[in-house]
Amino acid sequence: MQSVHPFAALKQRNFRLFWIGQIISLTGAWMHQAAQGWLVYKLTDSPFYLGLAGTAASAPILLFTLAGGVLVDRYSKRNIMLLAHAVLMLLALALALLVLTGTVAVWHVLLIAFLIGSVHAIEIPTRQSFLIELVGRENLLNAIALNSSAFHAARMVGPAIAGFIMGPLGLSSCFFINALSFFSIIVALLKMRFAPGEIKATQKSGVVKEFKEGIAYILQHSTIYMLLISVGIISFFGFPYISFIPVYARDILHTGQKGLGILMGCAGAGAFSGAVMLALKGNTSKKGLLMAIAGITFSAALLIFSLSTAAWLSYAMLFLVGLGAINQIATANSILQLMVPDALRGRVMSAFTTMFLGMAPLGNFSVGSLAHFIGTQKALTIAAGCCLLGTVVIMLWEKREIVRL
């Protein structure tokens, strides 16, 4: 396949605005994520509540995203995103004020996490489907890789900043910065310009009918549902590790708040490195094989991390966790986006988002409950082992299809 210049998508003005806005906004979001985990653990001293907070944030993805995909295909994606980011800004501000005034309780955090997750249930598939309107089909893979690099650069930097400012400036500072950061993406969306007729209107045939059409299309294409299942495995068994990093930072590795930022930053650094590698490769062949290797790397590194009591080894393994995760998820994303027709992209990407993020609440609740009874390390070890086993099984089951992707 013909390679793509690593920055080809950035030549498009609309995508360039979007990308810069995303970096700023997502940095604030990751600061919020790190501070929220520390806040919940400080309020409850319970790994169960850490898992519950992760469940509260992710459950709406499972509940609402599939239906939300119909809205993505029916209405202006830019308008949906403008409304979504305005609401997210208000929710972050509300949590900041509760923490600043000392009136915050754990139920406040859980409720706001659920509301943020509800907005993301619509915003994430909208964002995924919006990329092709910004760059066109020829630069779509490059845009996905660059968008992933922005996400994970923020994931690398945001928690590290949060870890250093939580102590001297207080937890509320992270939530205030997140609220302010949404202005960047709102301004970027408002400054975008599209030629008349550049965004094609989708014919509306009824919400229920359109929802059924999306599900039927997925079930009729084995490659699509195989990709979705593989993403679901890593989401359910693998991604809950993020909720339990505060336990490792405080009680297992004894590295404190700064260690929390470094741990989350290492995972982000690995993911950022993987995203840059994908961008440099361009429209690479053997995507299925790359996805399988990445899934095994993610699971094996997570298994070692779960058992580690040495900070340096934990940092290294989380780097590999991030590297493996981004290669698997971004590759699956690119395959799906190029396979599906334009009129169904929102619904298929909502299914991808459901598996990618929506399975996490079930995993968070399950692993968190298990951690409550047998300890965090043992629970995460079991989850990582299941993730590795599931990835290997599906790779062997679909090895012929994987080689052809």
- pLDDT confidence bin for 319, thresholds 50/70/90: very high
**Residue with the larger pLDDT of the pair 22 and 50:** 22
How far is CA 262 from its chain centroid? 19
pLDDT for 394 beyond 50: yes
Q: How far apart are CA 336 and CA 340, in angstroms?
A: 6
Mean pLDDT of 76-85: 92
Sign, CA dihedral 349-360-327-390, equals negative
Mean pLDDT of 325-341: 79
Q: Classify domain 8-193+204-404 by CATH architecture.
A: Up-down Bundle (1.20)
Mean pLDDT of 207-230: 80
Q: How far apart are CA 43 and CA 24, in angstroms?
A: 29
Q: What is the pLDDT of residue 400?
A: 62
Q: Which of 21-35, 48-62, 82-96, 366-380 has the lowest mean pLDDT?
A: 48-62
Helix (H/G/I), strand (E/B), else coil: 76: coil
DSSP-assigned states of every residue in 314-373: HHHHHHHHHHHHHHHHHHHHHHHHHHS-GGGHHHHHHHHHIIIIITHHHHHHHHHHHHHH
Q: What is the pLDDT of residue 5?
A: 63
pLDDT for 60 beyond 60: yes
Per-residue pLDDT tens for 2-12?
Answer: 445 667 788 88
DSSP-assigned states of every residue in 229-288: HHHHHIIIIIGGGGGGHHHIIIIIS--HHHHHHHHHHHHHHHHHHHHHHHHHH-S-S-HH
Neighbouring CB atoms inside 10 A of 321's CB total 28
How far is CA 183 from its chain centroid? 21
**CA nearest neighbour of 264 among 101, 29, 44:** 29
DSSP-assigned states of every residue in 145-201: HHHHHHHHHHHHHHHHHHHHHHHHH-HHHHHHHHHHHHHHHHHHHHH----TTSSPP
The residue type found at 137 is R
Measured CA distances, 351 to 80, 217, 332 (Å): 18, 11, 12
**Residue with the larger pLDDT of the pair 72 and 342:** 72
Instruction: Looking at mean pLDDT, say which of 142-151, 159-168, 288-297, 317-326 comes out highest.
Output: 317-326
Q: Is the pTM of this model over 0.85?
A: no
The encoded tokens of residue 149 equal 């690099």
Instruction: Looking at mean pLDDT, say which of 57-61, 137-141, 377-381 comes out highest.
Output: 377-381
Mean pLDDT of 231-250: 88
Helix (H/G/I), strand (E/B), else coil: 375: coil
Q: What is the pLDDT of residue 3?
A: 47
Per-residue pLDDT tens for 358-384?
Answer: 787 788 788 888 988 898 899 999 999
DSSP-assigned states of every residue in 88-140: HHHHHHHHHHHHHTT---HHHHHHHHHHHHHHHHHHHHHHHHHHHHHH-GGGH
Q: What is the pLDDT of residue 77?
A: 87
The residue type found at 215 is I
Instruction: Looking at mean pLDDT, say which of 52-56, 208-212, 286-290 comes out highest.
Output: 52-56
**Would you say 352 and 339 are in contact if contact means Cβ atoms under 8 Å apart?**
no
Q: How far apart are CA 68 and CA 376, in angstroms?
A: 34
- Tell me the pLDDT of the chain averaged across its residues: 84
pLDDT for 284 beyond 70: no
pLDDT for 82 beyond 50: yes
